[in-house]
Amino acid sequence: MALIVGADRFDRLFRAVRFDEVDGDILYVYARDEDAAAEMEDEFALHISIVASKILDRRISVVLVLPRQLMKPKI
């Protein structure tokens, strides 16, 4: 992703990002804040889905990027 995004932008956007879970073909990603989440989803969701599909060896059709404040606590 750093090659696609560029180093400075990658450091700003993907700092503290969490690729949390896959539900069907949806990948849930949590970003630092609402602005970073919106920018990541708008500009890089397709790229993230392609990379995630290859890493996980399953189809990821939707990347849902949310701010960390909305992350569900793990029980």
Query: Are residues 58 and 22 in contact, defined by beta-carbon separation less than 8 angstroms?
Result: yes
Query: Are residues 45 and 65 in contact, defined by beta-carbon separation less than 8 angstroms?
Result: yes
DSSP letters for 33-56: SHHHHHHHHHHHHHHHHHHHHHHH
Identify the pLDDT of residue 60: 98
pLDDT tens for the chain, residues 1 to 75:
888 888 898 998 888 899 999 999 999 999 999 999 999 999 999 999 999 999 999 999 999 999 998 877 766
| Count: domains in the chain | 1
Residue 75 falls within a domain, yes or no? no
Residue 37 falls within a domain, yes or no? yes
Residue 52 falls within a domain, yes or no? yes
Record the tokens describing residue 44, joined without a space.
């890089």
Identify the pLDDT of residue 75: 66
Residue 51 falls within a domain, yes or no? yes
Identify the pLDDT of residue 3: 83
Q: Which of 20, 40, 39, 36 has the alpha carbon at shortest distance from 28?
A: 20
What gap in Å lies between CA 26 and CA 64, rounded to an integer? 7
Q: What is the CATH number of the domain that holds 43?
A: 3.30.300.180
